[in-house]
Amino acid sequence: MQFNFNSTEPIYLQVADQIEEAIFAQSFAEGEQVPSTTEISKEFHINPATVLKGMNILVDAQLIEKRRGVGMFVVPGAQAKIVEKRRNQFYDDYVKNLVSEARKLHITKQELAQLIERGFTTQ
Amino acid sequence: MSIQLQAITQQFHGQSVLDNLNLTIEPKKIYGLLGRNGAGKSTLLNIISDRLFPTSGTATLDGETLHDNDHTLGRLYLMSEVNMYNDRSRLKRLLNSTALFYGAFDRDYATQLAAKFDLNLNQRFGKLSTGYRTIFKLIVALCVPADYIFLDEPVLGLDANHRELFYQALIDSYTERPRTFVISTHLIEEIANLIEHVFILDQHQIIVNGSVSDILDRAYMITGPDTDVTGYTAGLNVIGQDHLGGITANYVYGALEDDRPIPDTVTIERLDLQKLFVNLTNAKEATTHVN
Amino acid sequence: MSTKRWAVTRYILMEQLQLLWRAYAIILIAFVVLPLLFAILTGNLGHYSFTSTLTDLGIGVAFGFFISITMSLTYDNFKLLIQNGISRKTYWQARVISLIGLSFGMEIIATLYNFLVTAPARGHSGQAFLGSTLYSLYDHFLGSNLFVNILGYMVFNWLFFIGLGLTGMAVGSIFSLLTKFTRNIALIAIPVLGFFLLVFLSNSSLNQHSYNLDGLVNFLKFLMGYHANAQPGYFNPTVPMLTMIIGCVIMGGIAYYFNQKLKLKK
C-alpha cells in the first residue's frame, strides 16, 4: 500500500481506495485477511478511527467483511465486483477527460480513434 | 465525561496570554493542539494540570474541579517540555515513584519500551541528552493509568527512527487502551493523519476547533491566472495568497459558492493541515479571516 | 487516610530517612572519625577518648538542624508531585504528617541515647542529666518521678522539633515563590536587618528611660512558663508547650498559605 499524504483526497477515502486497489490487483486474495486497523494505523501514522472509517466504506460496499474477533476478510467475488464498478465508472473517469483534452489539442474524433487503435496494438 | 475549560484568561504582568478561552476535551480521542511559538500552548496545558493558576476561569474534569484535587489530577498526565524530575534521580526510581503516586503503572510496557528505545533505566535523569529525556518522559506518559494524556512537544530532540518508534508505540498503546491524547507539536505533517480533532491556538484564542476531516473539507487552494482566481474567490474567506509569475494561489477557509461557475483555467485543490495552519496563523493575516 | 496521602507521606518519609542517615554519617565522620585520624596522625592518641566523643554527640541538636533545613526544601518535590497528579494540599498534609512522625521517632531515639548512653557514660543520674538540658527550667514541676519528667522533656522536645520543621516549611514555601533574584536579596537583607534590630534592641534596653520593655520581658517570661517567684526547675512546662503549639499552628498556617500558591516557574 502506498499513501500520498499530499493528495487532496481525504485520508479515509485513500485508505478505502488503497485496499480496494490491492484487492483488485489480487494482493489480498478473496477469502484472505486484510491488514488490521492497527497495523495500517501504525504503519502510516493514521488515526485508527480514520482507518476504520475507510474500511467501513469497503464493508458497506460488501468487498470485505468483519469476522468477530479475527479481523477483516476479502469477500468472495469482491474482485469481480470491483471490476464491474470500475467498468461502470470508466466513461466518467477516463473517457470524458480524454475527449476534453483531445478537444483542447484539436485532435479530431477520427484521429483519437486511431490513437486508441494504436494503443491497443502496441501494448 | 470530559475536560471542560471555561472562560480561561491568563495574564502575565498585564500581558494577555489566553483570553476568555473555552474548550472541551472528550474521552478516548487523539487531539492536536497547534499554535505558533509563544501562542500559549504550554500555558494552557499547565493550567489544565494545575501547575499554573489562571487569572480567571475554571478547569474541570467530569464536572469536578482540577484545582488542588488529587482525584481529578490523578486522571491526567502532562508530559511537558520543562523537566519536572530531579536531575539526581535515577530513572528506575522515578518509575517507582510514578507507580506509587498514580497507584498503577504498566511497568512491563515501560521496560519493553525502554529496551526498544535503548534507554538504560539505571541512569540518572540529569545525565540524559535532550532526546533521551523526551524518550523517558514519553515512556512514563504511555504507561501511567491516566485517562487524559497531554504531550507537549513529544518529539523534541528525537531522531527520525525514534519518532517512528514513538508514533507506533502511541498507536499501539491507544488501540490497547483507548484514552485521550492531546499532542502539542510543531511537526504538523507528522501528526496530521494521527489526530482526530484539532485545536489551533492563535491570538490568545482557540481559532479552530473541530474534527480534522471537517476542517480540511472547508479548506481549499484555488490556483490559476491572477484575474480568474481573484474573480472566483471574490467574497470568499481568503486566508492567504501565493504568487508565482502570473499564477496566483488563493487559500480559502470556508464554503465555496456552489452556484458560481468555475473558470476552466482555475483548479481547486484541498489544503493540508500544515498549509491551513500556516495561513491561518500568519501574523499579518490575523484572526479576522476565521469564522 | 486516603491512599494518595499515605503514598506521598511514605515517599517523603523515606526520602527524609535517607537524608537523615547520610547526615548522621557525616556527623559521625566529622566529629568521631576525623578527630581520631587527626589524633593518630599527630601521635596524640592518648588524649583521644572514643567513648566521650561518641557520648557527646548531640543527636537531638543535630536533628533540630536537620529537620528545619530539610523541611524547607519545597520546590523539587512540588514539581515531582504535581507531575504525578498530587495536589498541593496533599503535599502539605503529607509533609506535616511525616514531620510529626519523624520527630516523634527521633525524639525517642535521642532520649534513649541520652539516658542510656550519654548519662551513664558521664556518670550522671537521669535527673542530673535533665538538669543539664534546656528542660532544667521545668524538671521539678511535675514532681520527682524521673519518668514523668523525662516524658515531659520528650513532649517538650517533640513540640520543639515540630515547630522547627514547620518554621522551615513556612520559610521554604515563601522562598519557593520568589524568583532567584529576590531570593538572593532576601538572603542578604534578612541577616542585615536582623543585626540592626539586635543593635536597636540592645541600645534601647541600655536606655531604659526611652523604651520600657518590661512588659515584653514579662510576657516572654510568661511564655517560657515563669510564674510568681518560681525558681528555675519549677517553671510550668505546659505554658511553653502551649506556646509552641500555638507557634506550630501559626507556622503551619503560613506554610499552608504559601504552599497553596506554589506554581511552575518559567
A82-86, B21-25, C39-43: which range is least confident on average? C39-43
The span from the CA of A116 to the CA of A95, in Å, is 11
Residue B180 has pLDDT above 60, yes or no: yes
The one-letter amino acid at B98: T
The pLDDT of residue C208: 56
For chain B, report the end-to-end CA distance as a whole number of angstroms: 28
Torsion sign, CA atoms C48, C52, C58, C59 = positive
User: A84 with A70, same domain?
Assistant: no
Instruction: Test C85 with B73 for CB contact under 8 angstroms.
Output: yes
State chain A's mean pLDDT as an integer: 89
Residue B284 has pLDDT above 70, yes or no: no
Instruction: Test C264 with B51 for CB contact under 8 angstroms.
Output: yes
Backbone φ and ψ for C257, nearest 5 degrees, come out as -55, -50
List, for residues A67-77, the tens digit of each pLDDT value.
988 889 999 99
Strands B148-152 and B180-184: parallel
Mutate to test the interface with A, among B213, B215, B262 (most CBs of A within 10 A): B213
The pLDDT of residue C57: 73
Q: What is the CA radius of gyration of chain B?
A: 21
The span from the CA of A40 to the CA of A29, in Å, is 18
Residue B79 has pLDDT above 90, yes or no: yes
Distance of residue A36 Cα from the nearest chain B Cα, in angstroms: 11
CATH tag for B3-211 (out of 3.40.50.300, 3.40.30.10, 3.40.225.10, 3.40.50.1000): 3.40.50.300
CATH tag for B217-289 (out of 3.30.70, 1.10.10, 3.30.450, 3.30.200): 3.30.70
The pLDDT of residue B72: 97
The pLDDT of residue C9: 97
Residue B206 has pLDDT above 90, yes or no: yes
The pLDDT of residue B286: 46
Asked if C138 contacts C156 with a C-beta cutoff of 8 angstroms, the reply is: yes
Exposed, middle or buried: residue C243 (CB in 10 Å: 0-12, 13-18, 19+)? middle
Residue B285 has pLDDT above 50, yes or no: no
Interchain contact B38–C (C-beta under 8 A): no
Ordered strands of the B3-12 beta sheet: B15-25, B3-12, B56-61, B64-65
DSSP 8-state assignment for residue C212: -
Distance of residue A1 Cα from the nearest chain B Cα, in angstroms: 16
The H or E element containing residue A122 is helix A109-122
Residues in C touching B68 (Cβ below 8 Å): 87-89, 260
Residue with cell string 506554581 = C263
User: A69 with A85, same domain?
Assistant: no
Q: Do chains A and B touch (3 or more CB pairs under 8 A)?
A: yes
The pLDDT of residue C38: 85
User: A41 with A90, same domain?
Assistant: no
Asked if C152 contacts C53 with a C-beta cutoff of 8 angstroms, the reply is: no
Strands B15-25 and B148-152: unpaired
Closest CA to B195 of B23, B29, B44: B29
Distance of residue C238 Cα from the nearest chain B Cα, in angstroms: 37
The percentage of residues in chain A with a pLDDT greater than 70, rounded to a whole number, is: 93
The span from the CA of B92 to the CA of B86, in Å, is 13
Strands B267-270 and B219-225: antiparallel
On whether ipTM exceeds 0.95, the answer is no
List, for residues B81-131, the tens digit of each pLDDT value.
889 999 999 999 999 999 999 999 999 999 999 999 999 999 999 999 999
CB atoms within 10 A of CB C124: 16
Whether residue A5 lies inside any domain: the answer is: no
List, for residues C148-198, the tens digit of each pLDDT value.
999 999 999 999 999 999 999 999 999 999 888 888 898 899 889 999 998
The H or E element containing residue A113 is helix A109-122
CB atoms within 10 A of CB C256: 18
User: A19 with A69, same domain?
Assistant: yes
CATH number of domain containing A66:
1.10.10.10
Distance of residue A81 Cα from the nearest chain B Cα, in angstroms: 28
Geometric angle at alpha carbon C164, from C161 and C167, rounded to 5°: 150
Instruction: Test A48 with B172 for CB contact under 8 angstroms.
Output: no
In this complex, the chains that touch A, judged by 3 or more CB pairs closer than 8 A, are: B
Instruction: Test C85 with B76 for CB contact under 8 angstroms.
Output: yes
Whether residue A3 lies inside any domain: the answer is: no
The one-letter amino acid at A21: E
State chain B's mean pLDDT as an integer: 93
The span from the CA of C134 to the CA of C136, in Å, is 5
- Of the two residues A28 and B288, the one the predictor is more confident about is A28
List, for residues B134-173, the tens digit of each pLDDT value.
999 999 999 999 999 999 999 999 999 999 999 999 999 9
A26 three-class SS: coil
List, for residues C29-62, the tens digit of each pLDDT value.
888 888 888 888 887 777 777 777 777 778 888 9
Geometric angle at alpha carbon B191, from B185 and B195, rounded to 5°: 105
Residue C209 has pLDDT above 60, yes or no: no
The span from the CA of A42 to the CA of A28, in Å, is 19
Question: Crossing angle for the helix pair C238-259 and C88-113, nearest 10 degrees?
Answer: 150
The H or E element containing residue C163 is helix C146-177
User: A42 with A63, same domain?
Assistant: yes
- Mean pLDDT value across residues B274-283: 90
List, for residues C62-95, the tens digit of each pLDDT value.
999 999 999 999 999 999 999 999 999 999 999 9
Torsion sign, CA atoms B90, B95, B96, B101 = positive
By C-alpha distance, the chain A residue nearest B217 is A10
The one-letter amino acid at A19: I
Instruction: Test B101 with C76 for CB contact under 8 angstroms.
Output: no
Q: What is the DSSP string of A66-80?
A: EETTTEEEEPTTHHH
Asked if B211 contacts B197 with a C-beta cutoff of 8 angstroms, the reply is: yes
C-alpha C37 chain-centroid distance? 31
Whether residue A1 lies inside any domain: the answer is: no
Q: What is the CA radius of gyration of chain A?
A: 18
Residue B287 has pLDDT above 50, yes or no: no
pTM for the whole thing? 0.89
The span from the CA of B117 to the CA of C32, in Å, is 48
* Residue ranges making up the domain that contains A110: 79-122
The span from the CA of B111 to the CA of B55, in Å, is 41
Residues in A touching B167 (Cβ below 8 Å): 42, 45
Residues in B touching A46 (Cβ below 8 Å): 193-194
The pLDDT of residue C180: 84
C-alpha B250 chain-centroid distance? 26
Query: Can you give the three-state secondary structure of chain B, one letter per residue?
Result: CCEEEEEEEEEECCEEEEEEEEEEECCCCEEEEEECCCCCHHHHHHHHCCCCCCCEEEEEECCEECCCCHHHHCCEEEECCCCCCCCCCEHHHHHHHHHHHHCCCCHHHHHHHHHHCCCCCCCEHHHCCHHHHHHHHHHHHHHCCCCEEEEECCCCCCCHHHHHHHHHHHHHHHHHCCCEEEEECCCHHHHCCCCCEEEEEECCEEEEEEEHHHHHCCEEEEEEEHHHHHHHHCCCCEEEEEEECCEEEEEEECCCCCCCCCCCCCEEEECCHHHHHHHHCCCCCCHHHCC
Residue with cell string 488501540 = B175
Mutate to test the interface with B, among C84, C257, C262, C263 (most CBs of B within 10 A): C84
Strands B76-79 and B148-152: parallel
Q: pLDDT class for B291, splitting at 50, 70, 90?
A: very low
- Mean pLDDT value across residues B198-210: 95
Exposed, middle or buried: residue C254 (CB in 10 Å: 0-12, 13-18, 19+)? middle
Residue with cell string 529496551 = B115
Domains of chain B: which residue ranges? 3-211, 217-289
Asked if B78 contacts B150 with a C-beta cutoff of 8 angstroms, the reply is: yes
The span from the CA of B277 to the CA of B271, in Å, is 10
Exposed e or buried b per residue across C130-165, where buried means at least 16 C-beta atoms within 10 angstroms of its C-beta = bbeeebbbbbbbbeeeeeebbebbbebbbbbbbbbb
- Mean pLDDT value across residues B207-235: 92
User: A50 with A33, same domain?
Assistant: yes
Instruction: Test B175 with A45 for CB contact under 8 angstroms.
Output: no
CB pairs under 8 A between A and B: 46
Exposed e or buried b per residue across B108-126, where buried means at least 16 C-beta atoms within 10 angstroms of its C-beta = ebbeebbeebebebeeebe
Residues in B touching C81 (Cβ below 8 Å): 101
Residues in B touching A47 (Cβ below 8 Å): 30, 193-196
The percentage of residues in chain C with a pLDDT greater than 70, rounded to a whole number, is: 96
Contacts of C62 (CB under 8 A, 6+ apart): C23, C24, C27
